[in-house]
Structure formats: C-alpha cells, structure tokens
Amino acid sequence: MSAALVIVPAVWDDVQRFVEAHHRHHGKPVGMKFCLAAAVADEIVGVASVGRPVARAYDDGWTLEVNRTCVVDAPNANSMLYGACWRAARALGWRRLITYTQAGESGSSLRAAGWRVVAERPVRPGWDVPSRPRKLRGTEDVARTLWDVSVAEPQAGVSPGRASRVAQVGHALLTKALA
C-alpha cells in the first residue's frame, strides 16, 4: 500500500530551494503571503507559493496570486495544492485567487481544483522599458492564460481600502504584543 498524498505546512526557504531545483521555466519566487507543500510519507513532492498579485491592476486588497507551483513525480499533487491554496486564502479573508499558465500548459490541474479561465493574454516581448529596465528571464514571447477562483461578493460593509487598513492595524497590534 502506498503512502497518501497530503498537504503540509511549508517553510519559505524550503519552497524557494525546491522551486529553484525543480521548476522547468521559472526561478524561485521573491515574496509570499503564505506557502504550502504536498508530501508523500516524509518526502516533499510539491510546493505552492501565494503572494500579492504581480499585476498592479489585481492588487485590490481582496486578491492574491499563486505565484508558483512546482511538483515532482506526484500525480494530482498540483490540483491538491491549488485547492488547498484557495481554501487557505479564503479562510484568511481573501476573496479571489488568480494564477497564470503559459501557452502549452493544459490547465487541467486548475480545472480539477475548480478554477476558471478569465482571459487569454497575448505574447509580450518582455517587461523591459526605458523608464524601468528589466532583465530577460526566458519567459518572454509566451502567451499566457489568466485563471481565477473567487467568492461571489466582497464582505458586506468593508471596502478593499478598509480591509488593507484593518490588516495593517492587526499587524501593528500583533507586533506590539510580541515585543
């Protein structure tokens, strides 16, 4: 009998190392709100990192982005991670979770976890512009698909700006209590 695939807590440094060692086209993520891992027995077989949306237009106080998933030899682990990311984000008060797939990736893990296609993004030559120079990362000239999963309506009576201020106050109180 084989060991079961389970979601486990993850440490940020371990997630970065796992992605750096195993992801086929992206480097390690640079920031996160939370991260998770999938394990079989005592072995990590996949990780997911959730952070602020990369695109400023989606950084509305209610939305997070799955910035990276990476799975090695574990069928269904990616779907399990996407589902767990949404359950965790929703439990923490977030109302929407987004992610992208590159052209050529089927998105079957996202569909299996209940996500939907929102938009098809055309090929882009990169993000390097004279006002903000950027290095090429090898992901230029690739069409992408935007996916999301969300609750129907934001929390009644709380605007995204208010939610951000509430989070800031909560963080300040926690920091003070731990000092």
DSSP-derived secondary structure letter, 152: S
CATH code of 152's domain: 3.40.630.30
86-96 in b/e burial notation, b at 16+ Cβ within 10 A? bebbeeeebbb
Domain count, the chain: 1
- Name the pTM for this structure: 0.78
- pLDDT tens for the chain, 179 residues long, are 468 999 999 999 898 888 888 876 666 667 889 999 999 998 999 999 999 998 889 999 999 999 989 999 888 999 999 999 999 999 999 999 999 998 888 999 999 999 999 999 887 766 667 887 767 666 667 888 999 999 976 555 555 555 555 556 555 655 666 66
**pLDDT at residue 1, as a whole number:** 44
**Residue ranges making up the domain that contains 154:** 5-178
CB 54 within 8 A of CB 31: no
Cβ of 107: how many Cβ atoms within 10 Å? 15
Res 111: pLDDT = 94
